[in-house]
Amino acid sequence: MISLYRPGTSIVHRLSAAVKLTGLAVIALVLSLYPHDAISIAVALGIVAVMFVIARVPRREFCRQLWQLRVLIIVLAVFLAIFVSPLAAWINTGRVVAIVLLAGLLTLTTRMSDLLGVINLLLLPLRRFGVNPAGVSMAISLCITMVPVIAAQAARIREAQQARDVRLGIGVVVPLLVMALRHADDVGDAMTARGMG
């Protein structure tokens, strides 16, 4: 499994995985369900940036994560601006960027083993209903770590397109989908080889 954890001694690093995971879930729900306006989204993005500062994540790492999201930002913003409105583009793109950056901060400041332990503990009561806590917690942790992986793949595709002087457009979707499915196959093969499939 890909681990993006960066050791540190900040307040965010010292928080338990349970608190951070709960916080991510609550913030994601608030960002998704609350009827935001242009100002509240700007405030939310500012708070996310401050959280990176509090976590003592290097500015270069923050910029790298934001840079990896550029294709998603451009495609989503342009699509919404054309078919809905510029305000909807700002609000909804801002929501997605804030949630993805928070997921990135979670993986940067939390050991994956700690995350797996918390998720597994939360799912234990569901074992009586036939749920496999270890399997589900592994799937959730893979989803969390896949966010920056897919973003990095999108960045590589865009760089390759720029090198060939290809215009930004829907053409990025197909190679990104192929790379994502190939990565999923590789992860599935690795899990099967370890007796987890």
Total of domains in the chain: 1
Q: Does residue 167 lie within any of the structural domains?
A: yes
Q: Does residue 49 lie within any of the structural domains?
A: yes
Q: Does residue 5 lie within any of the structural domains?
A: no
Q: Does residue 23 lie within any of the structural domains?
A: yes
Q: Does residue 4 lie within any of the structural domains?
A: no
Q: Does residue 34 lie within any of the structural domains?
A: yes
pLDDT digits (tens, 9 = 90+) for 133-179: 777 777 776 766 676 677 677 777 777 777 777 665 555 667 777 77
Classify the C-alpha dihedral 20-29-122-184 as positive or negative: negative
Q: Does residue 19 lie within any of the structural domains?
A: yes
pLDDT digits (tens, 9 = 90+) for 65-94: 888 788 788 888 999 999 999 999 999 999
More confidently predicted of 82 and 131: 82
Closest Cα partner for 7 from 61, 60, 57? 57
Q: Does residue 140 lie within any of the structural domains?
A: yes
pTM to 2 decimals?
A: 0.70
Q: What is the spatial distance between Cα 13 and Cα 138, in angstroms, rounded to a whole number?
A: 22
* DSSP string across 136-161: HHHHHHHHHHHHHHHHHHHHHHHHHH
pLDDT at 153: 72
pLDDT higher than 50, residue 2: no
Q: What is the spatial distance between Cα 108 and Cα 103, in angstroms, rounded to a whole number?
A: 9
Give me the phi and psi of 188, to 5 degrees please.
-60, -40
Mean pLDDT within 3-19: 87
Q: What is the spatial distance between Cα 92 and Cα 105, in angstroms, rounded to a whole number?
A: 20
Residue range(s) defining the domain that contains residue 44: 11-193
Output the six-digit token pair for 108: 């940067």
